[in-house]
């Protein structure tokens, strides 16, 4: 079955760029049936959708983060990535990648285990 695994630095300095990668195994990221999303969750708080990418490279972003977010896909490596610029302590969170049904049913059926990113000097 498809599995997702986040990877990247666990500590990022303020004002720098957070970079994470999600590796897809057990299936192809090029499947036209899914979006590939990033979601985050600050400690003790709720889930916040960051953005998503389709295999074509088309992206959608949370308006509140849009100016700082870039999501890209590397089909040759079966990976998609998140870059969040100009980070502050408010960006400290567990970051998840997830697979979302592309069709009208929606729903994120596969999630990575999450990776904790702390923004601190």
Partner 1 sequence: SSELTQDPAVSVALGQTVRITCQGDSLRSYYASWYQQKPGQAPVLVIYGKNNRPSGIPDRFSGSSSGNTASLTITGAQAEDEADYYCNSRDSSGVVFGGGTKLTVL
List of residues 6+ apart from 100 with CB closer than 8 A: 34, 35, 36, 37, 52, 106, 107, 108, 109
Each residue 10-49 as x (binds partner 1 by CB under 8 A) or -, in order, gives ---------------------------x-x------xxxx
Q: How far is the CB of 9 from partner 1 (least distance, A)?
A: 20
Which of 36, 79, 82, 100 touches partner 1 by CB under 8 A? 100
Helix (H) or strand (E) holding 55: none
* Rg of the Cα atoms in the chain: 14
DSSP class of residue 102 equals: S
Closest CB to partner 1 among residues 47, 89: 47
Closest CB to partner 1 among residues 76, 104: 104
List of residues 6+ apart from 1 with CB closer than 8 A: 26, 27, 110
**Site residues, partner 1 (CB under 8 A):** 37, 39, 46-49, 51-52, 60-64, 96, 100-101, 104-109, 111-114
């Amino acid at each position: 079955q498809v599995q997702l695994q986040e990877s990247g630095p666990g500590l990022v300095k303020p004002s720098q760029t957070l970079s994470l990668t999600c590796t897809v195994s057990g299936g192809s990221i090029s499947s036209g049936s899914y979006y590939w999303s990033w979601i985050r969750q600050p400690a003790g708080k709720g889930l916040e959708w960051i953005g998503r990418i389709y295999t074509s490279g088309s992206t959608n972003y949370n308006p509140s983060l849009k100016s700082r977010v870039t999501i890209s896909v590397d089909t040759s490596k079966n990976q998609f990535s998140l870059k969040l610029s100009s980070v502050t302590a408010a960006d400290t969170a567990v970051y998840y990648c997830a697979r979302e049904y592309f069709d009208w049913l929606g729903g994120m059926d596969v999630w990575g285990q999450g990776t904790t990113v702390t923004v601190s000097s």
